[in-house]
Amino acid sequence: MTVAQTVELGLDENQRDAQWRLALRRAASFLLILLLLCGVWEGYKALGQATRGKVPFTSLKLPIRPDDKSMPHLWTIGGSLLQPARRGGEDILLVILLKAALFTWREAVMGFVGGSVIGFLLGAIFGRFLLFERSLMPYIVASQTVPLLAIAPMIVIWGGRLNWPAWWSVSIISAYLTFFPVTINTLRGLRSPNLTAVELMRSYAASEMQILLKLRLPAALPYIFTALKVSATASVIGAIVGELPSGIQDGLGRVLLTFSYYYISGPEKLYASIVGAAALGILFAVIVALAERWIVPEGRRLSE
């Protein structure tokens, strides 16, 4: 065995070891933070109830009432998942949430994919033609300052005129919220190679297309994935907000709206739904992150 081979093997084993340690550390820190958050919630409740809703040793009111209506116990929230959402209803809350989440996710995935493709194409066009960037970028930025709540009903109405299924409109709203970070980061990523890297390609007499495919695009991938992780969660928010004016009954938007009406009688259900919606966003972002691990080699990821 040559020295070089020994070095190679040693390197690989160390790397694998380090990866495992890193994964373990991450899982541990995730659990620790989760426990800490639970502790803060229950601790606040216990403390607040002991002082009858006052900041200790003062007569100042605590901002949130520590009673079981405003802040149900975590086990109440967890327990509500396993009970029927309505008296006499068939499905337990967990099943309702899962079905709604799956429905919303379909809208979000379509919006995410459509928005990302459009976002990427815009970024690629802007990257190639400065003129387009100069002339169109202000509108792209403006599109994101318009409140989503203002345009969502319009998109729903236009979709209705064209007889689209209602959830298509929701996907479009979701895409609207998704494409912007992808455009910005694609543009940045495509421009990230330094002059020498481009000149190397010129010295090979590479075509514009080859420079794009073999240099600019691979260089842009870490930037694009950073945007996709942001977009994944944004697409879920877009879908939930989009469901409200479209009158869709099957998604998380409707579930959240319904339980917010019944907040007084059953706050734990609203809390459980909020956790469910957040979990969906996180899950989506994690899936994108896993795709990144698979596609982008480890030394190049930006967000780690």
Which of positions 168-197 make contact with another protein (CB under 8 A)?
194, 196-197
Binding mask 113-152 for another protein (x = CB under 8 A): ----------------------------------------
Buried b (16+ CB within 10 A) or exposed e, 187-218: bbbbeebeeeeeeebeeeebeeeebbeebbbb
Looking at the Cβ atoms of 74 and 198, the one nearer to another protein is 198
Which of positions 198-237 make contact with another protein (CB under 8 A)?
199-206, 210, 214-215, 218-219, 221
Looking at the Cβ atoms of 93 and 220, the one nearer to another protein is 220
Distances in Å between the Cα of 148 and the Cα atoms of 173, 239, 289 are 8, 11, 26
The minimum distance between CB 301 and another protein, in angstroms, equals: 11
Residue 250 makes CB contacts below 8 A (sequence gap 6+) with 99, 100, 103
Place of tokens 């209602």: 166
Looking at the Cβ atoms of 195 and 264, the one nearer to another protein is 195
Looking at the Cβ atoms of 210 and 260, the one nearer to another protein is 210
The minimum distance between CB 222 and another protein, in angstroms, equals: 9
The minimum distance between CB 215 and another protein, in angstroms, equals: 7
**For the chain, how many residues are written?**
304
Q: Decide: 267 and 199 in contact? Cβ < 8 Å.
A: no
212/128 Cα distance (integer angstroms): 10
Looking at the Cβ atoms of 47 and 198, the one nearer to another protein is 198
Amino acid (one-letter) located at 30: F
Where does this chain bind another protein (CB under 8 A)?
2, 4-5, 8, 11, 194, 196-197, 199-206, 210, 214-215, 218-219, 221, 296-297, 299-300
